[in-house]
Amino acid sequence: MNSLHFHEWSPFNNLSQRGQRMSDFKQKPDSMKKKFSELIVFSAGGVAPPLTVLKRSFQARTGIAVKMYNGRPEELTAMIQKGERCDLLSLGAGFIADAMVSNGLLKESSVNMECSVNSALRQRKLIGWRDLALLTRRGSSFEGFDFSRLISCLSSGSNPLPKLSLASAGCLTGIWEMAALKHGPSSIDSIIAAKPAWATSCGELISHLVTGRADAILGWNTFAGFRDPDMFMSILPEAIQFRRPTIICSPVTCANQEGASAFVDHIFSEQGRIQYSQMGWTLPDWGVLATFDSATSVMKGERLLTDAELSVETIPTPRRFSSDCGSSILIHNTSAARVLFHLSEMKGFAKCHPVEIASIF
């Protein structure tokens, strides 16, 4: 996987210990708490589901009410440009944040100004990555097709041709051209000749598939969690894989920096990391531990995961994970959702645990 790195951000860079902001908030007088009692979060629709779950636990823990607005990045950017308050913004691609930096819509850091890296980049924090996947509609003639088979079908002019839908905006902008170019230059011509439908958001792309307007869409692996019964997912192989980062950032219209920092800490807590992994995000320095009920099952699981082009390592099962078998599989650079996709129906598979790699050794 390409290492896409973003400098860590916090409006409270002088506070070294995570959790100190939460403690400080609880000690403030009621008049100060009222000022920070509400947090406004904007999120691109495709990356909103984990935040929606985490906001509930954050509200219960801190008493800070979180109001979320989900939409297309272009709409959210326009709202910020008009001066609407936004304390945190989650996006599914770095190039969208780049454009906001150019337009002066992301806050500039007040520290480390001598750093050679653009100081505005300190206002981004990398959450993780999603895998590019071909999703096909269950029950259609093209259910279970992978990308290569789809291209072969399009180029051969078979009857019927699969109806294809692609994104023309948002975090998936240009993604199909990149995947097709890696597959082979003629793939682009085959896709264009198929006269695909175009979608301007992740939500519209998914709706094309579930309503039957499209037999296949090129999107993110996390889409399968939205309408799982209606979709069959085939993650693109590494040779043609392309990933984009999901980031959290602070716009210039942020009015609650303290609450924003506390919510970012919650996102990067163990609870937050597990939530993102379970919903399909690959996390920096995190992986998945798969446990089994026998050594034979471990070997079978290793074959399945290796065939899926995942980086696996058989290790002794750590004591804190209950298992009937003394060996487990540690899968690097992947999500719990992807491991479950490959192992959930395997006899002898017990459970998968999102884990911080450093904590295993």
Give the pLDDT of residue 139: 82
Residue 4: inside a domain: no
State the average pLDDT over residues 157-182: 89
Residue 203: inside a domain: yes
CA distances to 296, 308, 339, 358 from 330, rounded to whole Å, are: 16, 14, 10, 12
Query: For residues 87 and 250, what is the distance between their CA atoms, to the nearest angstrom?
Result: 6
Share of the chain above pLDDT 90, in %: 64
The residue written with tokens 């993780």 in the block is 128
Residues 160 and 194 in one domain: yes
**Which of 246, 291, 274, 285 lies closest to 337 in space, CA to CA?**
274
Q: How many CA atoms lie within 13 A of 329 on its CB side?
A: 30
Give the pLDDT of residue 359: 87
Q: Domain of 291?
A: 286-360
pLDDT tens digits along 246-269: 999 989 999 998 999 999 999 999
Residues 260 and 125 in one domain: yes
Of 1-5, 45-49, 187-191, 342-346, which range is least confident? 1-5
Alpha-carbon torsion (284, 105, 69, 224), positive or negative: negative
Residues 37 and 113 in one domain: yes
Residue 218: inside a domain: yes
Residue 44: inside a domain: yes
Residue 254: inside a domain: yes
Residues 234 and 142 in one domain: yes
Residues 136 and 161 in one domain: yes
Asked if the model's pLDDT at residue 101 lies above 90, the reply is no
Q: What is the number of structural domains in the chain?
A: 3
Residues 272 and 306 in one domain: no
Residues 157 and 187 in one domain: yes
Residues 120 and 252 in one domain: yes
For the chain, report the end-to-end CA distance as a whole number of angstroms. 22
Query: For residues 339 and 308, what is the distance between their CA atoms, to the nearest angstrom?
Result: 10
Q: Rounded to 5 degrees, what angle do the CA atoms 319, 323, 328 make?
A: 80
pLDDT tens digits along 205-245: 999 998 889 999 999 999 877 655 678 889 999 999 999 99
From 224, 256, 278, the end of a domain falls on 278
Contacts of 316 (CB under 8 A, 6+ apart): 326, 327, 328
Asked if residue 237 lies in contact with residue 309, where contact means CB atoms within 8 angstroms, the answer is yes
CA distances to 246, 277, 358 from 334, rounded to whole Å, are: 14, 8, 15
Token pair listed for 152: 């072969």
CATH number for 322: 3.30.70.120
Query: For residues 223 and 247, what is the distance between their CA atoms, to the nearest angstrom?
Result: 17
From 186, 218, 240, the end of a domain falls on 240
CATH number for 76: 3.40.190.10
State the average pLDDT over residues 292-305: 95
Residue 267: inside a domain: yes
pLDDT-derived band at 19, boundaries 50, 70, 90: very low
Residues 158 and 291 in one domain: no
